[in-house]
Structure 1
Amino acid sequence: MFWKFDLHTTSHIDTLLEKEDVTLTEVMDEDDVLQECKAQNHKLVDFLLRPQCMEDLVTFITQEPSTDVEEKVKYKYPNISCELLTSDVSQINDRLGEDEKLLMKLYSFLQNEPPLNPLLASFFSKVLSILIGRKPEQIVDFLRKQEDFVDLMIKHIGTSAIMDLLLRMLTCIEPQQLRQDVLNWLNEEKVIQRLVEMIQPSQDEDRHSNASQSLCEIIRLSRDQMFQVQGSSEPDPLLSTLEKQETVEQLLSNIFDKEKNESAIVSVIQILLTLFETRRPAFEGHMECPPGMSHPSFSVNHSILEAVRPRLKDFHQLLLEPPKKNMMKTTWGVLDPPVGNTRLNVVRLVASLLQSNTHSINTELINLNTLGVILDMYFKYIWNNFLHIQVEICTAMILAMPPAPIDIQPDTEAEHVKESILIKHLFQKCQFIQRIIDAWSSNEKEQAEGGRRRGYMGHLTRIANSIVHNCDKGPNGPQIQQLISELPAEDREKWESFISGQLADTNKRNTVDLVSNNTNMKNSKAFRFVFIIPFDRISDINFSLNTNESANIALFEARCKEKIQQFEDAGSDEDDIWDEKDVTFAPEAQRRPSSGSTDSEESTDSEEEDVKRDQFEASNPSNDDRMEVDTDCDGWLGTSVASPAASAPSDCGSSKAEEEASSSEHRSITETVINGSMKETVSLTVDAKTETAVFKRFENHLHTKELRFRLMVMRVVPVPVGIL
């Protein structure tokens, strides 16, 4: 009934703006000023478009607040000013983007000395970014007129907001031709070379990180753009500059020809890794051939590899002598020295170089024995899983990828391509098999003495499985088999015993069977029911009975009578639907199949068991309203209640059960119900006149959960026939 009330309220801003001497700060103090601006309140927008107001808004986001202002409100007005200027109101965008005086005031923020205020830098970057998106021609034209723009961007690259602004210029400028013009302009200004120059030991860590991230994003954005814009006539000039051999050589010279600096080294490796990811592999160290190796389009610019190859010895030396790291105490011991970020990234670089599968690179790594050093680190640093996964990737790729092609004449020495020199080096020089067996045995010995399982054992399991897999099915299978056969007899026997014993047992433990292997459980129809089911679908419940004696028939009747009170209305004047009604068992001729089970599993064997499966059915309406019991021998407890008009044949004659039940007024029956390995003995006394039964249960190794399960099933079934 909200339309009865007038919920429209006039903003207090409208009243405030009617004052002749209202100030910008008074308006900005209003709680709903941003909402009203985004809703394009005409009075408010007209007020903000006043020249003095626009100038003040820009001033707020480009000048440091007064130091005597309380800290919690110090950046209140700069923040609100930024939000108002970026509220995407077309009139504000037009005024700001076309007024060169305002643009110069905004641009002056870059002319401050570093470091810039990071909060104000974020406001400045946000405002200029939205202008680049909304008024690209005007903003690009303005920036190109500023001769020091690129210099200032590089100067402040240590401020993340400025890095974001640079990347925004590469991604948010449309149309395509204007973007290409911007790329050409930035390339002419040598933005790539200037960013490369930032990554050297003399610069601080923030500059290293942001310059590296900028170059990485330029690579990715440029490549993505190349795939999206097919048939582009002009290549990306920034990417072309980055992929030049002299550019990569300059990067490597910055970190190797000067003092060692971990931040600079890691930043350069990040750039190299990005240059190598022309197709980003999703490989995570599994036995399968790494993605990318199966794609012919995967390739690395040859000039990059040529620049890196002479520096492999320097990267190898970093593994042996990384930048000095302080001793690190851990919960399990002392690391002196720890792995460190430098060595971890060098291993990542080796993994990427291996994926390029270049003969000259592979040969250099073998000559340096870089793989042997990496394996030494793997077994030494038993808790560093970042290292372990990279080593696993290296070994899995070596085992899975085909031999590297060699630049030879087609008619000479072609047979040399057939074998992988990396695999030969791994098995012979690095003693790959022996080290796996020794590490496994050493771990088992420590665990037997009460020690902890080593942290690399999971990866070692997958490495061993990778050897087995590639030995049987990989492209290098014959070579791997040959190398294993050439092992000393003792080592070969140990390996064969290991893969058939310890490795097989570990794989078995690691395999999770989501489906029970219990034959009785699979074949039993006792579990084919829905625990929670709407009341109007009771007729769809389908159970089976696992006994063939009449005791269960009487037991079921007794449970029905015992539970009938749950369905009665204590204060009802209606006749009791159960009064004067005999509970008997329909003859075979009056049965029909039920409407079927709702369980999806029923379809798997329903065709085979249609002849054997029976359900509880209501008797023919021409007879008394009665319930019947199916004594199917394939299940241990089951029922299906259908409409009273149904009738169908039965396998196990219930008429005999009726005769036996009426032969005497009292009869005691003892029945043992078996479900798999569990037994339950039921003692039942039936009074034929009163149609009552008293029963007792004697459990033999019967779990409480199983008993509760059976009782729950019995409680689901007894539904008054009259409401079905």
Structure 2
Amino acid sequence: MFWKLASLSASSPVDSILDKENYTLEELLDEEEIIQECKALNSRLIHFLRDKAQVEQLLRYVVEEPLEEDDADSKRAFKYPFVSCEIFTCEIEVILKTLVEEDKLMDLLFSFLEPSRPHSALLAGYFGKVVICLMIRKTAALMNYIKGHQNVFSQLVDLIGITSIMEVLVRLVGADDHVYPNFPDVMQYLADSDLLEMIVDKLSQSSPPEVQANAAETLCAITQNAPSALATKLSSPGFVSRIFGHATEDSHSKSGIVHSLTVCISLLDSRRSAASSYFFNSFRGQHMFESPAPVSQETIGAMLPKLGDMLMLLSVASDSKILPTTYGELRPPLGKHRLKIVEFIAVLLKSGNEAAGKELASSGTIKRILELFFEYPYNNALHHQVESVILSCLENTSETMINHILKDCNLISKILSSDKDSVLSGDNLPTVAATGKKPPRVGYVGHITRLWNKLVQLSGTSVLIKASLEENSEWKDWQSSVLQERNTVENVYRWACGQYCCFSFLIVTLYSRHAYKSNATCRRPTTLQDRTRDSDEEDRDYDVKDYKN
């Protein structure tokens, strides 16, 4: 017996409108089920929406702000633009075909970029979604339109401070052959244009911080897609010098330093910038686990002339800022720009370029970075980068770098003395302990322990490191007492916590037929009675050999 359900057989509200003799686009946009009907490929609805007049009206809702008399109409300001954008992003072939085959419609779409137009974040998001949809589904038609309208690039770059517009540029320059069928041709065309020059110019100190940040994000997207014609052009000495110049042209612009060095770091190690990218989970993420392309020596060579300027930027003498903290004060705080400089130097040293290492050593930059390690004892992000710098020097094939970090920087004596006196002192500028409180322990002891263990490990293969350790009279006593004891305590494989629980669980799993004999519950006392109760029977252990049969 079958039940007839009227609710299942009734037509949708969209079909009811389409059955009328006269109806408008707005009536359809008012219906909640219109997006569902588009995705279900309702033939009558699609036939209506594919008409040029309807596509034009949908575009106007996407790119045009409502008139003053329409401001009170929330549908015109919010609902119609949203639904119109969703109709385009349903990726219906005939609707997109109508759009890309009519130059007037494409002109209307990209009229949103005109400088005289308002650019609200809401409509910018809808515009970006429609363009990205065309980029994926109608690549050839879109690129042909852009080639015939060169001003599109400059208009996009001028609005790069809007995140939605920046995403369009990121998709344009950071796409791969999975998105563009003719990927090499598209990348070559972009490289031949002046798009890259315009984006790099946005890193200048005259640009607002949000513009610099989005320009850096776009350039990092290019490096993450290497090798390509656009990435090759960006890593050329001329462009590297321009980017590096923006980082050092004005020491007062902290934002310019941070974002310019972010691009330089991405040129040296694209995977590092991808991990912190806003679009980490986008289609570009598939390159994350591929082997990075080797860094060109010309790319690094273009950075060398400005490396000496980094030492001046690391100075805190002229900075009068004071930051109160729970443990005292920072006079001044390290700042994001100095941390970014240290990160850049760590990545540069990891590249293994001998000329860069010698330049950093001769300018005193490595020595200054080591001083920052002890001056800011609670900045773990700094400690992580400085540890990387030290390890790069110790593992370097050049004896010059090993001698510099051990002799010139006096590494062993510094970490020995800091480990012995591991409490924050009152005159340890720029980190000042609070008065009237017990000074806390410094926060880099774990990093020092790892460095000690690395020195011991490398002393087995490096004569220089072994000789430096043996020259220090305090080293042997400290190693046999403090370091050995600390390694024993921190060896998690020797910890006894949880072993009985795991052992009992293994018994129950392997010998379930004898599970009633074993107490496999990892039970912790929760009350005083639990702690004092005699529970020998419950806690009795069993020998595995008893269950072999």
TM class, shorter-chain normalised? Answer: 0.7 to 0.9
1:229-280 residue CA offsets vs partner (Å, 9 max, x unmatched):
xxxxxxx322222121111112223333446311111111111111112676
Deviation at 1:392, TM superposition (A): 0.9
- Residue 189 of structure 2 is matched in structure 1 by 185
Q: Measure the CA separation in 2 of the matches of 1:469 and 1:250.
A: 42
Residues 204, 518 of structure 1: alpha-carbon distance in 2 compared, 3 angstrom cutoff? closer
Q: Provide the rounded CA distance (Å) in 2 between the counterparts of 1:135 and 1:298.
A: 31
Contact 2:220 2:273 in 1 (8 A): no
1:361 to 344, 356, 359: 356
Q: CA deviation at 1:194?
A: 1.5
Does the aligned pair in 2 maintain the 1:261–1:323 contact within 8 Å? Answer: no
Matched, 1:147 2:150: yes
Does 175-184 or 255-264 show the bigger shift?
175-184
Identity fraction in percent: 28
The 3-state SS of whatever aligns with 1:329 is: strand
How far the C-alpha of 1:71 sits from its partner, in A, is 8.6
RMSD between superposed Cα atoms in Å: 3.6
Pick from 405, 410, 422 the counterpart of residue 443 of structure 1.
422
- The one of 181, 201, 205 equivalent to 1:201 is 205
Q: Which amino acid aligns with 2:58?
A: L
Displacement after TM superposition at 1:528 (Å): 7.1
Q: Distance in 2 between matches of 1:54 and 1:362?
A: 60
Shift of 1:356: 2.2
C-alpha change, 1:434 and 1:352, in structure 2 (3 Å) is: same
**Residue 298 of structure 1: how far off its partner (Å):** 7.0
- Paired residues of 1:157 and 1:163 also in contact (CA < 8 A): yes
Shift of 1:197: 1.2
* Structure 1 residues 92 and 527: alpha-carbon distance in aligned structure 2, compared to 1, 3 A threshold: closer
Distance in structure 2 (CA, Å) of the matches to 1:538 and 1:358: 60
**What CA deviation, in whole Å up to 9, does each residue of 1:83-119 have, x standing for no partner?**
0111112221222222222111111111134872222
Distance 2:380 2:497 in 1: 35
C-alpha displacement at 1:539, in angstroms?
Answer: 4.4
Q: Distance in 1 between matches of 2:318 and 2:134?
A: 44
> What letter matches 1:709 in structure 2?
E
Do 1:201 and 1:260's aligned partners in 2 also have CA atoms closer than 8 Å?
A: no
Aligned equivalents of 2:201, 2:225: Cα separation in 1: 21
Q: Distance in 1 between matches of 2:218 and 2:451?
A: 36
| Gap runs ≥5 in structure 2 | 276-289, 426-432, 521-529, 543-549
Deviations 1:503-528 (A, max 9, x none): 22222221123674999x79xx9987
Cα pair 1:322 1:342 within 8 Å, conserved: no
Measure, in 2, the Cα distance between the counterparts of 1:321 and 1:712.
62
Aligned to 2:138: 135
**Contact 1:150 1:189 (8 Å CA) reproduced:** no
Aligned counterpart, 1:312: 307
Does the CA contact (< 8 Å) of 2:203 and 2:215 recur in 1?
A: yes
Structure 2 residue aligned with 1:484? 469
Find the aligned partners of 1:99 and 1:245 in 2 and give their Cα distance. Answer: 42
Aligned pair 1:241/2:233, yes or no?
yes
What residue number does 2:523 align with?
Answer: none
From 43, 68, 71, the counterpart of 1:69: 71
Report the residue type matching 1:85 in the other structure. F
Q: Which residue of 1 aligns with 2:43?
A: 42
1:53: how far off? Answer: 1.9
C-alpha displacement at 1:25, in angstroms?
A: 1.8
Q: 2:402 aligns with which of 400, 423, 442?
A: 423
For 1:422 and 1:152, locate their aligned partners in 2 and report how far apart those are by CA, in whole Å: 48
Between the aligned partners of 1:142 and 1:526, the Cα distance in structure 2 is 70
| CA deviation string 1:643-694 (max 9, x = no partner) | xxxxxxxxxxxxxxxxxxxxxxxxxxxxxxxxxxxxxxxxxxxxxxxxxxxx
**What pairs up with 1:230-379 in 2 under 5 angstroms?**
236-258=228-250, 260-277=252-269, 299-320=294-315, 326-379=321-374
**Matches of 2:495 and 2:186 in 1, distance apart?**
60
1:501 aligns with 2:481: yes
Q: 1:434 aligns with which of 413, 418, 426?
A: 413
Partner of 2:533: 704
Q: How many residues align?
A: 504
Q: Which structure would you say has the larger Rg?
A: 1
**Residues 526, 543 of structure 1: 8 Å contact kept:** no
1:335 and 1:72, CA in 2 relative to 1: closer, same or farther beyond 3 A? farther
Deviation at 1:61, TM superposition (A): 0.6
Q: TM-score, normalized by length of structure 2?
A: 0.82
Specify which structure has the higher proportion of helix. 2
Distance 1:255 1:114, change over 3 A: farther
C-alpha spacing 1:323/1:200, structure 2 compared with 1 (3 Å)? farther
1:97 equivalent in alignment to 2:75: no
Normalised TM-score (structure 1): 0.63
Amino acid at match of 2:214: N
| Structure 1 unmatched ranges of 5 or more | 224-235, 284-294, 404-419, 487-491, 545-598, 600-700, 714-724
Tell me how far apart the structure 2 counterparts of residues 188 and 323 of structure 1 sit (CA, whole Å).
44
Q: Is the 8 A contact 1:198 1:208 kept in 2?
A: yes
Deviation per residue, 1:594-619 (Å, 9 max, x gap): xxxxx9xxxxxxxxxxxxxxxxxxxx
| Cα-to-partner distance string for 1:342-383 (whole Å, 9 max, x where unaligned) | 110111111112112222222222212212211111111111
The residue aligned with 2:397 is 402
Of the three residues 121, 129, 138, the one matched with 1:118 is: 121
Contact 2:424 2:440 in 1 (8 A): no
Following superposition, the deviation at residue 208 of structure 1 comes to 0.8
Shift of 1:463: 1.6
